[in-house]
Structure 1
Amino acid sequence: MTELYFVDLAFVNFRDHPFPEGGGHSCRWIDLKSFRFAQGSRDVDLLVAVVAHEQFRDDYAGGGVDRGGTRHGPYWLRTVSSNAYQPVTHTEAAQVLRRWANQHGDLPDSLETALEASLFTTVTSASRLYRLRDLGTAAFHDWGGIHIDFHEFVAIDDDRQTLTLLVAADD
């Protein structure tokens, strides 16, 4: 089985970047979890490994990683598998994330800079990208509908031998 080694967490909270009076939506954030993998790992094995990793057991609702958890984002963990990820192009991923980030108007310069340095650099440098498809409300856990938007991508960077699990959400 392919192994992933957790390296780092980057978190960008929109609340930390003041919006002009009446603009923005401060209950949005980006979570980027980075992992190392061995050279020559196959994508399907990397996707299986990330879903099985303890860092994947996160409801993204403030509780953080729960090693014995049964939730992932809005979904029951048991409903998420490597097959739930679909390949997407860099352009598609960037469009989804920019549309989500800018849905309430222009971003403050400090936030734009933070997103470019973390989120969009990860998307741009990825060798391949996968997006978690919408699993539907039947896959929601007992309070899984709290996220207004929930976007999840896996970025695989062969040059750096890193996989980044990135979540953009709001509540």
Structure 2
Amino acid sequence: MVYQREIFINPAVTRQWVSIKVFAVPAEVDDQAALAAMIADVRYRDSYAGTGDTDMVDKHGPYWLAAITPQTFTVATPAAVETVIRTWSGYYTPWPAADRDAMDREVYPRIQHATVIYQLPDIRAKAQHDWGEVVGSDGFHEYVMIDRAAGELALMVASDD
């Protein structure tokens, strides 16, 4: 897999944000191998806590990286994912039009066009690292959307800090 870019939506009116890390996924790479390659990629090693490269060894969001394997992920339906994200984004004040437009452009089409969506369930009880409570007090929503027609794997994290 080849990393392409990150899309970051960060409304100024709330603590919420959405990160989408986009990878090109070759057709011959099956889902489990794609998830394994994503987990092994340095860009997955992100605490999402603004610490820069200092935590890019053993953490992912609020979790110890070692606790996450391809088998940790579960399949999610597009309708369920969209409901979670739309509900989560409405927790606080309404987002500015530009951020809502970015969600309509970058998030929801990826959910709708995905061949398959994998969800990282909440594994805090067994895998939260020593300061993992800093990220995602209102939820750490992680989805991996694989779109075979587009040759794309999109890692989406919707959370807060």
Q: Same fold (TM over 0.5)?
A: yes
Task: Please give the residue correspondences for 1:106-125 in structure 2 after superposition, counting only pairs within 5 Å.
Answer: 106-125=94-113
Q: How many residues align?
A: 159
- Matched to 1:97, the amino acid is I
1:71–1:77: 8 Å Cα contact kept in structure 2? yes
Q: State the identity as a percent.
A: 30
TM-score by length of 1: 0.87
Corresponding residue of 1:6:
3
Corresponding residue of 2:142:
152
What is the alpha-carbon root mean square deviation over aligned residues? 1.5
Q: Which moved more, 1:93-102 or 1:34-43?
A: 34-43
- In structure 2, runs of 5+ residues without a counterpart are none
TM-score by length of 2: 0.92
Q: Secondary structure at the match of 2:144?
A: strand
Provide the C-alpha distance between the structure 2 equivalents of 1:58 and 1:27, rounded to a whole number of angstroms: 18
Q: Which moved more, 1:107-116 or 1:69-78?
A: 107-116
Provide the C-alpha distance between the structure 2 equivalents of 1:162 and 1:140, rounded to a whole number of angstroms: 29
1:54–1:65: 8 Å Cα contact kept in structure 2? no
Which of structures 1 and 2 has the bigger CA Rg?
1
Q: Deviations over 1:119-157 (max 9, x none)?
A: 112211211101001112331111001121210000001
Task: Please give the residue correspondences for 1:72-83 in structure 2 after superposition, counting only pairs within 5 Å.
Answer: 72-83=60-71
Provide the C-alpha distance between the structure 2 equivalents of 1:110 and 1:36, rounded to a whole number of angstroms: 27
- In structure 1, runs of 5+ residues without a counterpart are 20-25
